[in-house]
Amino acid sequence: MLDFAPMSTYPARVIANFGASAAIIDDKGSIKRAQPLKKLDLLVAGDKVLCTDESGSGETTTRVTQLQTRSTVLARPDRKRQLKPLAANVTRLLIVISPKPAPEPLLIDQFCIAAASAGIQPVIVLNKVDQIDSSASEVTPGDYTGLLDIYRQAGFPTALCSTKTPAGLDQLSELIRQQTSVLVGQSGVGKSSIVKKLLPDQEVRIGAISAATGIGAHTTTVSFWYQLEGGGALIDSPGVRQFAVDYLQTQQVESGFPEIQHWRDGCRFADCTHSVEPDCAVKSALDSGDISKSRYENFLRLSQAD
Q: Is pLDDT of 148 > 60?
A: yes
What's the one-letter identity of residue 50?
L
Beta bridge partners of 299: none
Q: Is pLDDT of 245 > 80?
A: yes
* pLDDT score for 1: 41
Distance CA 185, CA 182 (A): 10
Beta bridge partners of 180: 233
Q: How crowded is the C-beta side of 270, counted as CA atoms within 13 Å?
A: 0
Confidence of residue 6 (pLDDT cuts 50, 70, 90): low
CATH of domain 5-67: 2.40.50.140
What is the CATH architecture assignment of 250-303? Orthogonal Bundle (1.10)
Burial letters 42-59, b for 16+ CB under 10 A, else e = ebbbbbbbebbbbeeeee
Distance CA 19, CA 259 (A): 41
200 vs 174, 195, 208, CA distance in Å? 17, 8, 14
Chain CA centroid to CA 55, Å: 37
Distance CA 237, CA 105 (A): 22
Q: Tens of pLDDT along 99-129?
A: 888 899 999 999 999 999 999 999 999 999 9
Distance CA 226, CA 91 (A): 14
Distance CA 282, CA 285 (A): 5
pLDDT over 70 percentage in the chain? 91
Q: Tens of pLDDT along 31-76?
A: 999 999 999 999 999 999 999 998 877 688 999 999 999 999 999 8
* pLDDT score for 2: 45
Q: Which is more confident, 56 or 211?
A: 211
Q: Is pLDDT of 156 > 60?
A: yes
Q: Is pLDDT of 131 > 80?
A: yes
Tell me if the domain spanning 73-236 has CATH number 3.90.1310.10: no
How is the chain split into domains, by residue range? 5-67, 73-236, 250-303
Phi, psi (rounded to 5 degrees) for 87: -160, 155
Contacts of 118 (CB under 8 A, 6+ apart): 72, 73, 74, 75, 90
Distance CA 31, CA 12 (A): 9
Which of 58-67, 141-150, 225-234, 287-296 shows the lowest mean pLDDT across its residues? 141-150
| SS percent in the chain: helix, strand, coil, step 5 | 30, 25, 45
Distance CA 239, CA 244 (A): 14
Same fold, 73-236 and 250-303: no
Q: Tens of pLDDT along 197-210?
A: 999 999 889 888 88
Which one-letter DSSP state was computed for residue 140? Answer: -
* pLDDT score for 88: 97
Q: The pTM is what?
A: 0.90
255 closest CA partner among 305, 294, 299: 299
Stretch 206-225: mean pLDDT: 82
